[in-house]
Amino acid sequence: MSIQQLKQQQLMNVVNQTVQFNSLVATDSTQGCAYLTPESLMAYCQSRLQGIDTQVNEAFAQQQQSNFAQQILGQLASSPAFKLPADKLTGGWQVEAAVQSIKDAIAEAKGKLDPNSPAWAALDSYEKNSIDTIDTSKDLSVDSFNSTVVGGLNSIQKDLNASSELSMINLQSLMSQRQSAVQMCTNLVQSLGDQMNKIAQNIGH
């Protein structure tokens, strides 16, 4: 499944979740007060908001981690180790020095990232499956350097950006749900207050 298809699927899931949530909000707003005491109503509203807030905080943390990882990868891509050579690198010490310089730059970048983060895992896999497979005894052409070294890092950046966009869609959905939950709680409290006023009026009569 392509990145674009994943985005479309994620967006459809968000729409479906929002529709279901808003339907639940409407049901709770019209029926909740008939079954909830003031104390249980406040506990219910607090629980609903706390549950969504927990998810929102987790999504914010993931987004911040993703933004930081993108910054680190951007610095790595602009480092001298990833600059295209003017000519082919001769097999032997030239290629060995280039590969070591790349590995050192990757190690520095990984040292700034959370070892449990997707970006760290992607860099580790890139180093093992791309950089470590370069045959230092043979010449390394500019095209090979561009496709293997630069292209591999660019691929990681694109995947991370796509994942960040999906996370942002999820975060927007959670914020929408939170807004609906706040409105629902407001409606419930107002409805309960109206009912209590009517009861007081009836008793007064």
What pTM was estimated for this model as a whole?
0.63
Phi-psi region of 139 (alpha: psi -120 to 50; beta: other; left: phi over 0): beta
Model confidence pLDDT, tens digit, residues 143-198 = 999 999 999 999 999 888 887 777 777 777 777 777 777 777 777 767 766 666 66
Long-range contacts of range 194-201, CB-CB < 8 Å, 24 or more positions apart? 195/33
d(C-alpha 66, C-alpha 160), whole Å = 7
Mean pLDDT of all residues in the chain?
Answer: 78
* Burial of residue 153 (number of CB atoms within 10 Å: 0-12, 13-18, 19+): buried
Say whether pLDDT at 31 is over 70: no
